[in-house]
Amino acid sequence: TEEAQRMALQDALTGLPNRASFERGLDHGLTQAIRHGWKLAVLFVDIDRFKNINDSYGHDLGDQVLLMVAERLKSFVRAEDIVSRWGGDEFVCLLFEVKQEADVTRVAEKMIARVAEAREFNGSVLSIRASIGIAIYPADGETADALFKNADTAMYRAKGTERRVVLFRESGEREEGHAP
């Protein structure tokens, strides 16, 4: 049924596209990017110390935090872009037809700031910190797997930085023989 198909492609908690849906979108996006010579960006978003939130405040509040983050991330992307819950406290965003890479970094920085705006949950005021790693096709990878892996790597690097946003190419892992 249509309902079953929708459920299969949707995250039960947030209603966002799930992993299978995101992968489908990324494959389609790459086909379009190759055909039209576009860039596209994969953003890997991780909520910092989410386990502590669940442990300290309980899973219901943890779910509310995830819903808030989902909403705040979605507010920054265009209708054709995809925000997906990857699982646990991780989200991925897919931005199509990227013109300027600097725009992607700016959007990511705005996302971090918006997610961090304090909000009250059941009487507890929390400020949620997140980290975002970015990989942009084709410079940071030409396949879905490479883009994903590199965005994930960049996200782990972002955790230790002040900005909390890292573009894969700037994360220090350069192959030999390439000019910086």
Are residues 104 and 38 in contact, defined by beta-carbon separation less than 8 angstroms? no
Out of 11, 89, 140, 152, which one is annotated catalytic?
Answer: 89
146: burial class by Cβ within 10 Å (0-12, 13-18, 19+)? middle
**103 an active-site residue?**
no
φ and ψ at 91, to 5 degrees?
Answer: -125, 155
Residues whose CB falls within 8 Å of the CB of residue 114, separated by 6 or more in sequence, listed in order: 72, 75, 76
Are residues 155 and 45 in contact, defined by beta-carbon separation less than 8 angstroms? yes
Are residues 86 and 14 in contact, defined by beta-carbon separation less than 8 angstroms? no
Instruction: Give how far Cα 43 sits from Cα of 67, 84, 100, 152, Å.
Output: 18, 10, 15, 8
φ and ψ at 10, to 5 degrees?
Answer: -125, 140
Question: What is the set of active-site residues?
Answer: 89
